[in-house]
Amino acid sequence: MKGHDFDAAHRHLRKHSAMREVLKRHKLEAFAKRTDPFTALVRSIVFQQLSGKAATTILNRLLAYFPKKKPTAALMLKLTAAQFRKAGMSAQKTAYLKDLAKRFLDGTIEPQKFPKMTDEEIREHLLIVKGMGRWTADMFLMFTLYRPDVLPTGDLAIQKGFQRVFNLKQKPDAKKMEKLAEPWVPHRTVASLYLWRVMDGD
Q: What is the pLDDT of residues 48-66, one digit of tens each?
A: 888 778 999 999 999 999 9
Q: How far apart are CA 71 and CA 91, in angstroms?
A: 19
Confidence of residue 11 (pLDDT cuts 50, 70, 90): very high
- Closest residue by Cα to residue 71 from 52, 84, 81: 84
Q: How far apart are CA 64 and CA 184, in angstroms?
A: 41
User: What pTM was computed for the model?
Assistant: 0.87
Q: What are 171-192's pLDDT values in tens digits?
A: 999 999 999 999 999 999 999 9
Residues 144/171, Cβ–Cβ less than 8 Å? no
